[in-house]
């Protein structure tokens, strides 16, 4: 995966943190065929996404192969400026990536 596979924005306002997250991932279903070889492209998709605030998980989601390439996720959590937000994904091949940012 690319070295910045999770891009985050976290804005605190009125006791809530609005988190916007873009996850770079090919999200292959395993059903498409390579146009040149005719071989099926192996499944490769995000399976789990976990969001943490100050090291404590507050959201966990199970994804599957029906999610589009480079998924976008928007979530909200109670919090204040300076709270550390971290989003981590793990795919079906065991690869993972994360991004972290302090809420502004």
Residue range 90-102, pLDDT digits in tens? 999 999 999 999 9
Q: What is the pTM of this model?
A: 0.88
> pLDDT at position 5, please?
87
Report d(CA 65, CA 45) in Å as an integer: 6
Beta-bridge mates of residue 18:
11, 76
pLDDT tens-digit profile of 6-49?
A: 999 999 999 999 999 999 999 999 999 999 999 999 999 999 99
Domain boundaries, the chain: 6-29+43-95
Domain at 6-29+43-95: CATH architecture: Sandwich (2.60)
Q: What burial letters (b/e) apply to 52-75, b meaning 16+ CB within 10 Å?
A: bbeeeeeeeeebeeebeeebebeb
> pLDDT at position 1, please?
45
DSSP string, 10-62: EEEETTEEEEEEEE----B-S--B-TTT-PBPPPB-EEEEEEEETTEEEEEEE
User: Residue 29 — φ and ψ, nearest 5°?
Assistant: -80, -25
pLDDT tens-digit profile of 44-66?
A: 999 999 999 999 999 999 999 88
Beta-bridge mates of residue 46:
91
């Amino acid at each position: 995966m690319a070295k910045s596979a999770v891009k985050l924005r976290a804005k605190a306002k009125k006791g809530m943190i609005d988190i916007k997250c873009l996850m770079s991932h090919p999200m292959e279903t395993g059903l498409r065929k390579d146009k040149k070889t005719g071989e099926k492209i192996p499944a490769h998709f995000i399976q789990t996404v976990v969001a943490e605030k100050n090291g404590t998980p507050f959201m966990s989601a199970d994804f599957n192969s029906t999610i589009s390439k480079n998924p976008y996720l928007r979530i909200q959590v109670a919090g204040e400026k300076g709270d550390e937000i971290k989003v981590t994904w793990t795919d079906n091949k065991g690869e993972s990536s994360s991004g972290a940012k302090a809420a502004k």
